[in-house]
Amino acid sequence: MLRRLHSVAGLALALLLVAIAATGVGLSLQPAVDRLAAPAIAPGVSVAALAKAVAARHQRVDAIRVSGGGAVTVSFNDGAGKQVEIVDPRTGAGLGAYRPSETFRWLADMHRSLLMGDSGRIAVALSALGLLALSLTGAVMLARSLGGAGALLRPVRGGAARRWHGELGRLALAGLLLSALTGTFLSATTFGLLPGAENPAPAVAAKGGPAAPVGRLAGLAAVDVADLERLTFPARNDPTDVFTLRQSRGEAVVDPSTGRILAFTPTSTMDRIGRLANALHTGRFSWAFALFLGLSTAAAPVLGATGFLMWRRRRATPRVIAPAPTADADTVILVGSEGGSTWGFAQTLSRALSEAGQRVSLAAMDDIDNAHLRAQKLVILAATYGDGDAPASAKKFLEKLGGLERRIPVAVLGFGDRTFPSFCGYAERVVAALDAQGWPRLIAPKRIDRQSAQEFAQWGRDLGAALGCALTLEHVAEPPKTNAFALVGRETYGEAVGAPVAILRFASPGNAPRFEAGDLVGIVPPGSAMPRFYSLVSSRRDGVLEICVRLQPGGLCSTWLHSLKAGEQIEAFIRDNPSFRPVEGRAPLILIGAGAGIAPLAGFVRANDSERPMHLYWGGRSAASDFLYEHELAERLAQRRLTSLRTAFSRHPADAAYVQDRVADDAHRLRVLIRAEAQILVCGGRDMARAVAETIEAVVRPLGLDLATLKSNGRYLEDVY
């Protein structure tokens, strides 16, 4: 509902908001420009002194005004018609004619009315309201997707559009909210929708005595120029006319003969609020604040564009694929999908089951009803939204579950991201609810990390075994556009210890997409549609695409890659891996890996031009056989791209150890680094990752920290396979 509101308002207002935001950004420069154009007001000069200096230079002065930005102008008439000049607020000296900028005037007109009069003003007012709604719904959605209001500062994960939208939106939120709120208020004032603003000024006349020199009037001498908004001089030909002196707190009427204050009208509350709204909207009181608003506003077009991309991607995902009518299906697949990718997996599963002779029906989890339970079994594919919340197509599922008539065997497959603290949190809630209500299990529940096609295929084999049929799940999320990369170099390690690992270097063609160390390359081996992913050691600017491939016994892709000859080509595509990348800055990095898991870590070290502190912990089998990157790492230490290197070898004759043992040995040193905001990046097999996680948990406990906290702050990242 919230997202729908956000999308509809965003799409409807996108163009309008872009126009209003663009002109708003232009206007945000005005206070800075004005500040440069006119000297600043320094306290210590009285209004009387300024008025005296100005009056001495002119035959007739009408008014002295102080603009919101602090420029002092005087309107006067020396016989050649009325003119306006800028004056020095300290001396009253004339600084030349005042000419408001045509550019800013046009921008302001565009910003307020789109140059279309009242209809434009109404459109702008509605846009301000829309922006208010977008900011609020966006903030709530971002907080939800990150795991609650307290998690609003966590790193945003996902594709490029989603990350830009989230990160920028978060930065711009305060400025956009303020602009929208004050803009709405100003629109309401323009259309007279708010109660009357001003206290009525009493009609008072001076006694009509001879005018005293303006510099001696007590009522004007008591006020500092810094507090002045406007001083209107009395008409020359009317001895009963008065000075009116406007300050932010109210308006005083001063007798030109006696200098006494004849009346004072305080500024009404409504008027004060209006002035505050105006000041906050224009930022005219501080050029820096105005620029802050301008920068926030500049994010609006980017938010519009990335939001549009996200919306289009969501719409492009399949919603309904129903191969068999519900009534005579023997397997019902229920899908809980957020972005639509889970539907893709469901389709792959449905196709495979159909090929195995099953009659399959597909439905959203929210659509579950008793008709589905006439089937023999239920398969639930459930994604997770944010921190364990139900995804879009499963919001009502748990509610509906208890009211169903029958219980049939059910298999649950969760989809999630292991880097989130609550990995597959929603699927786990579904499993707990099913167990509590006595639904029999078809097979044990399983969780898929970041849409891993390999894990999905593995689960398919388990499901097939339970169903008594061979189930081959070859899931291809989207047939990606590949580039050809030719093998140019290979080093093989670890053959002596029975764990061959090849470092493969491919020439990167000029038209290859951008990639960086830590990103993934998807390689599709001949005879398979399913890509295998490897972490990249190199970046595009290195001109090569470098990976480490451990030979898996019987592995189609790794066997093929190991047998490649120089010059032979592979078809591969790049997948961003923003969730496994060092944070920006100078904080130390603790890199922990084993075996081929060294790949992205070695890549981070290689790219460490700024000599940021990096500490590498790595485990292999034998220093003599599988010490990957031994020479390069020695060189990096000498170049200070790598600060320290600790290795462990499990088959060392005297000192057999695993990488987690080195981590445990260095507990004290690691605590010092973690206290200095170090980030930990772990890459390798699942067993190693688990052992390292347990060790780190113990290491940080004396600091009052735990792994979940580090993970949720983005300070403990894992790339696990």
Partner 1 sequence: MKRALPMLAATAVFIAPTLAQARQVTFETTLKAYGGNEAYVALYLLDGAGKYKGTLWMAGDKTKYYRHLSDWTRASGGRLAEVDGITGASVGSGKTLKITVDIADALINAGYKIHVDTSVEDGMDNPSEVVAPLDASASRKPIAGDGYVKSFKVTF
Positions in the binding site for partner 1 (CB under 8 A) = 62-63, 75, 77, 81-82, 84, 100, 102, 105, 109, 189-190, 192, 197-198, 200-201, 203, 232, 235, 244
Please say whether the beta carbons of 413 and 446 come within 8 A.
yes
Q: Please tell me whether residue 72 adopts helix, strand or coil conformation.
A: strand
| Complex with partner 1: residue 160 or 204, whichever CB lies closer | 204
| Complex with partner 1: residue 189 or 317, whichever CB lies closer | 189
For residue 188, what are the contacts with CB-CB under 8 A and spacing of at least 6? Answer: 125, 194
Report the nearest approach of partner 1 to the CB of residue 712 (Å).
49
Please say whether the beta carbons of 183 and 278 come within 8 A.
no
8-state DSSP, 608: -
DSSP state letters, 449-511: ETT-HHHHHHHHHHHHHHHTS-------SS----EEEEEEEEEEE-GGGT--EEEEEEE--TT
| Complex with partner 1: residue 108 or 349, whichever CB lies closer | 108
| Complex with partner 1: residue 81 or 653, whichever CB lies closer | 81
| Complex with partner 1: residue 83 or 650, whichever CB lies closer | 83
Report the nearest approach of partner 1 to the CB of residue 84 (Å).
6
Residue tagged 């204050």 (tokens): 261
Per-residue HEC secondary structure of 357-379 comes to CCCEEEEEHHHCCHHHHHCCEEE
Distance CA 160, CA 181 (A): 29
| Complex with partner 1: residue 188 or 623, whichever CB lies closer | 188
Report the nearest approach of partner 1 to the CB of residue 274 (Å).
8
Calculate the CA dihedral of residues 255, 258, 263, 269 and round it to 10 degrees.
80
H-helix or E-strand spanning residue 97 = strand 94-97
Tokens representing 640 are: 């200070």
Report the nearest approach of partner 1 to the CB of residue 188 (Å).
11
Report the nearest approach of partner 1 to the CB of residue 190 (Å).
6
Report the nearest approach of partner 1 to the CB of residue 65 (Å).
9
Report the nearest approach of partner 1 to the CB of residue 58 (Å).
13
Report the nearest approach of partner 1 to the CB of residue 86 (Å).
13
Strand order in the sheet with 569-575: 532-535, 520-523, 569-575, 483-493, 501-507, 544-550
How far apart, in Å, do the first and last CA atoms of the chain sit? 36
Helical axes 117-146 vs 160-190, angle rounded to 10°: 140
Report the nearest approach of partner 1 to the CB of residue 246 (Å).
10
Report the nearest approach of partner 1 to the CB of residue 213 (Å).
24
| Complex with partner 1: residue 100 or 513, whichever CB lies closer | 100
Q: How far is CA 42 from the centre of its chain?
A: 42
**In Å, how far are 335, 382, 384 from 342, measured between CA atoms?**
7, 7, 10
Distance CA 154, CA 173 (A): 15
Per DSSP bridges, beta strands 377-382 and 331-336 are: parallel
| Complex with partner 1: residue 278 or 458, whichever CB lies closer | 278
How wide is the angle at C-alpha 175 spanned by C-alphas 169 and 180, nearest 5°? 100
For residue 683, what are the contacts with CB-CB under 8 A and spacing of at least 6? Answer: 535, 580, 591, 592, 593, 597, 598, 599, 600, 601, 718, 719, 720
DSSP lists the bridge partners of residue 593 as 618, 683
Please say whether the beta carbons of 671 and 590 come within 8 A.
no
Please say whether the beta carbons of 256 and 158 come within 8 A.
no
| Complex with partner 1: residue 265 or 341, whichever CB lies closer | 265
Tokens representing 650 are: 């499990």
Q: Positive or negative, the Cα torsion across 53, 58, 245, 33? A: negative
Report the nearest approach of partner 1 to the CB of residue 237 (Å).
10
| Complex with partner 1: residue 99 or 481, whichever CB lies closer | 99
Report the nearest approach of partner 1 to the CB of residue 81 (Å).
5
| Complex with partner 1: residue 237 or 511, whichever CB lies closer | 237
b (16+ CB within 10 A) / e for 81-92: eeeebbbbbbeb
Report the nearest approach of partner 1 to the CB of residue 199 (Å).
11
Distance CA 159, CA 418 (A): 16
| Complex with partner 1: residue 22 or 197, whichever CB lies closer | 197
| Complex with partner 1: residue 264 or 311, whichever CB lies closer | 264
Report the nearest approach of partner 1 to the CB of residue 256 (Å).
16
Report the nearest approach of partner 1 to the CB of residue 73 (Å).
9
Report the nearest approach of partner 1 to the CB of residue 100 (Å).
4
| Complex with partner 1: residue 235 or 496, whichever CB lies closer | 235
Residue tagged 């708010």 (tokens): 194
| Complex with partner 1: residue 244 or 247, whichever CB lies closer | 244
| Complex with partner 1: residue 200 or 567, whichever CB lies closer | 200
Distance CA 407, CA 399 (A): 16
